[in-house]
Structure 1
Amino acid sequence: MDTLELLAHPVRLRVVHAMSGGRLLTTSQLCARIPDVSKATLYRHIDLLATGGILEVADERRVRGAVERRYRLRQDLAVIDNAMVESLSLDDHRRGFATAMAILLAEFNAYLDRDHADPVEDLVGYRQHAVWLSHDELHDLISDLRSAIAPRLANQSTPDRAQYLLSPILFPLETPPSNPESASEAETRTEPDPGT
């Protein structure tokens, strides 16, 4: 299984999210962190991630006659790079987007199911904004977002930090016309009333 196939599954990607920030977690701890997925299913996906090299065993210890392993995320391998993205077909993008949405729904429901979930106190946000951008303005926006987000991706898990799922989603809602008019001309032009 290649990296893209390993990461393009909702359960496996949720495991990757749970392991980020330098965390060392056992399979039991991951089951507690992702309680809406059965243990058998989670064990199978953890095994696939370990076999594929995305997770590695950090240490082992004997617990009641069984071997308990703590896993570490190989952050350098848990990445979908630009070359991989450029090789995707439209159907690959469709499946990837569906995976991302499935993860968002599952993680948000798991958050709301917690005893002390408080969307206001936790500053939960899921607003959507439709913005008009030229090609250059789009590149500027992406650069600004990267500048704001990238330094924080290196944050390690510490007792004073909570993990947040940040999912920027960006795609055009319509294609610019091939022979663009000024916005004011397009908005003020009226069509004949078909009833007259």
Structure 2
Amino acid sequence: MATADVLLHPVRMRILQSLFDADPLTTAQLRERLPDIAPATMYRHIAVLTEAGVLEVVDEKRVRGTVERSYRVCKEEAVVDPAARAAMTREDHLRAYTTFAASLMADFDRYLAYEDADPNADGVVYRQAAVWLTDEELTALVEEIESSVLARVGHARDGGRVRRVISLVVVPDKPA
């Protein structure tokens, strides 16, 4: 499993988000989806993710004298395991969360930049709820949410389906 430093970098998070539940993509296709990332930066971060085992090369083709690789996410490697999370300092968590939150903001900003963006019609949702839960109830709730989302990850791109990014944040109101 990758470390938080590998996964929670703003550029690498965007690369991973582009590849989640997508067909394998080449670097050129990733650059089309993420045109604001400089080519050298894109290649460098793809190399970091590949070296860490988070991305895997699924195809190689010769194109005009170079090798074009297609990548996909190794989902089991694209998570920070519980032991690594437990070893993170408060500062590590703050940095990781800040990167995550900034990524959410950037995603929403990119969405709103589309001329035809209509948050109401497009089903944009952002809300919070406070619930009183034991540790066991919290674990069950997170597992239910993850299970519900994962059950839909493999849906085909037909029938008017729109790719949507779902994020989950759980923060206690105060330490237990």
TM-score normalised according to structure 2 size? 0.83
Post-superposition offset of 1:91? 1.2
> Gapped runs of 5+ residues in structure 2?
none
Cα-to-partner distance string for 1:31-64 (whole Å, 9 max, x where unaligned):
1112232222122111111122211211122223
Q: Deviation of residue 142 (structure 1)?
A: 3.2
Aligned to 2:120: 120
8 Å Cα contact 2:8-2:96 kept in structure 1: yes
What is the correspondence of 1:49-88 to structure 2 with a 5 Å cutoff?
Answer: 49-88=49-88
Q: How many residues were matched structurally? A: 173
Matches for 1:101-140 after TM superposition, within 5 Å: 101-129=101-129, 131-135=130-134, 138-139=138-139
Q: 2:4, 2:96 within 8 Å by CA — same for their partners in 1? A: no
Q: Distance in 2 between matches of 1:24 and 1:93?
A: 31
Equivalent residue letter for 2:26: T
1:21 and 1:156 in contact (8 A); partners too: no
**Deviation at residue 159 of structure 1 after TM alignment:** 4.3
CA shift in 2, pair 1:157/1:93, >3 Å:
farther
1:94 corresponds in structure 2 to: 94
Please give the residue correspondences for 1:179-194 in structure 2 after superposition, counting only pairs within 5 Å.
Answer: none
Q: Which amino acid aligns with 1:32?
A: E
Partner of 1:11: 11
| CA distance in 2: counterparts of 1:11 and 1:159, whole angstroms | 29
Q: Give the 3 Å change call, closer, same or farther, for CA 157–69 of structure 1 in structure 2.
A: farther
- How many angstroms apart in 2 are the aligned matches of 1:21 and 1:8? 19
What's the C-alpha RMSD, in Å, of the aligned pairs?
Answer: 2.3
Matched residues in 1 for 2:59 and 2:140: separation? 44
Amino acid corresponding to residue 157 of structure 2 in structure 1: T
- The structure that has the greater radius of gyration is 1
2:58 alignment partner AA: A
- The 5 Å alignment of 1:155-194 reads 155=154, 158-160=157-159, 161-174=161-174
* TM-score of the two chains, using structure 1 as the length reference: 0.76
Q: CA deviation at 1:68?
A: 1.5
8 Å CA contact retained: 1:36, 1:110: no
Give distance in 1, aligned partners of 2:171 and 2:133. Answer: 13
Q: Between the two proteins, what is the percent identity of the paired residues?
A: 39
